[in-house]
Amino acid sequence: MERVLTDEQIESWRTDGFVLVEGFLDATEVKQAREDALLHFPSREDFDAAPPEERPKLTSGMGFEMLPYKGDGLNLTAFHPKVTAAAEQLLGTADLRLVQSILRVTYGGPDTADQPLHRDFHDNTLLPPASADTGFGHLPVLIYYTDVDEGTSPTFVVRNRDGGDRPLVPFYRQREDDPELYDHERPNLVTAGTVMFYSMDTFHRGSAATDPEGYRLAHHLVLRPAGCDWMSFTAWPPLFDTEHGRRCIEQLTPRQRELLGIPAPGHPYWTEQTIDGFVARYPNADPEPYRAEVPR
């Protein structure tokens, strides 16, 4: 198992409920992700220049786009080996599934609004979250593709030591109902390339983008151990039945495809017949890793 997180970072994640890792993605990877994001959402300059009817559909100043994406670099970032390696360290298993990948843009201005502090497990799993040391951990990940300051919608987070003793329900905590919890929140003021690994029971919230010229790009991922079907968010097959989806699967390695639930080489699913079908559906994918493991 590759070690991309230090023991101190892992301990911070366990005790605080989150850890921020600056420089997790390098400048080239961030630049490619931003360029690919422009295929879905205009830059701040182009957004302001476009007439209202030509602007993307937004909710409270935010736009969302699910995997697969139009840009190959952004697609591959969802399966980034370093993110996967960190998830292996935190969840204690290499048999992982990617269950969420959402690109989110925020345009600063009067339409954006503060979220209340909340925990993410309520719409990601049918059951209460379990600690990672049980083998049933559940890992949300937030990748920042732009610098974030106080005016560009920073994520506010509460350390578990300060808020983790609250009952699991209600999931959302309004400021007027729990002002002490808000006293403990701190904003993530980060540089592009920073990644936050956190937990499903960590209190956090998105904040309003008060800079009228602000522009924030972030990528939300969620990974879990295989077999934990009560933890889910996305059904991938209908989303990948597109030109972009087929190209994405063709470019993934067998290991990366496993994150979508595609069986690894050597799995009994793979026969000469199913491999031929795989080639027909994904003609630019390399079938040899699967062929090499089929019993002759």
Contacting residues for 268 by C-beta, under 8 A, at least 6 apart? none
Output the CATH code of domain 7-253.
Answer: 2.60.120.620
Q: Which two tokens stand for residue 275?
A: 């491999």
- Helix, strand, coil % over all residues of the chain, rounded to 5: 30, 20, 50
Report pLDDT digits (tens) over 47-84.
Answer: 999 998 899 889 989 999 999 999 999 999 999 999 99
**E strand residue ranges, the chain:** 18-21, 62-66, 96-107, 117-118, 139-144, 155-157, 172-173, 186-187, 195-198, 204-206, 215-225
Report pLDDT digits (tens) over 108-129.
Answer: 988 899 999 999 999 999 999 9
Per-residue pLDDT of the chain (296 residues; tens, 9 = 90+): 679 999 999 999 999 999 999 999 999 999 999 999 999 999 999 999 999 889 988 998 999 999 999 999 999 999 999 999 999 999 999 999 999 999 999 999 888 999 999 999 999 999 999 999 999 999 999 999 999 999 999 999 999 999 878 999 999 999 999 999 999 999 999 999 999 999 999 999 999 999 999 999 999 999 999 999 999 999 999 999 999 999 999 999 999 999 999 999 999 999 999 999 999 999 999 999 999 999 77
Q: Which two tokens stand for residue 295?
A: 């019993």
- Does the reported pTM lie above 0.85? yes
Amino acid at the residue 193: G
Give span(s): CATH 2.60.120.620, the chain: 7-253
